[in-house]
Amino acid sequence: MKNYGAVDQLQFLIIKHDLPETDLALFNVKCPYCGKSDRIRRLEPPDSLNFRFNPQDLTEYTKIWYNFARPDESLGVCKFCDTPLKLINNSSAETLFQGE
């Protein structure tokens, strides 16, 4: 899966399923795209979304999650620009990839 395609697919799933389910902002975490620091939300890991997703969407979300998230990281989204992000220790946000 190409990284740019995976980011687009993740963004589609975020919008389609209105993720994250928990509307809790991570303050002082700045979006590298739009610069907002009060709109970053942590995305739920795939195993906590089993009941909400159809099997195909869950498989896709799981594949994308494990492609980008590392043990000390999680994924998030800026709810201002709807851009998926990599969260580092819930204290900073980075782009999911730097290009191919």
Return the C-alpha torsion angle 15, 38, 86, 19, nearest 10: -20
Residue 99 has pLDDT above 60, yes or no: no
* Residue 100 within any structural domain of the chain: no
Nearest of 95, 91, 88 to residue 74 by alpha carbon: 88
Give the residue, 80 or 50, on which the prediction is more confident.
80
Q: Are 21 and 44 a contacting pair, CB within 8 Å?
A: yes
What total of structural domains would you count in the chain? 1
pLDDT in tens, 10-61: 999 999 999 998 889 998 999 999 999 999 999 999 988 877 788 999 999 9
* Residue 63 within any structural domain of the chain: yes
Across residues 62-89, what is the average pLDDT?
90
* Residue 15 within any structural domain of the chain: yes
* Residue 99 within any structural domain of the chain: no
Residue 98 has pLDDT above 60, yes or no: no
* Residue 17 within any structural domain of the chain: yes
Enclosing domain of residue 64: 3-94
| Structure confidence at residue 62 as a pLDDT band (50, 70, 90) | very high
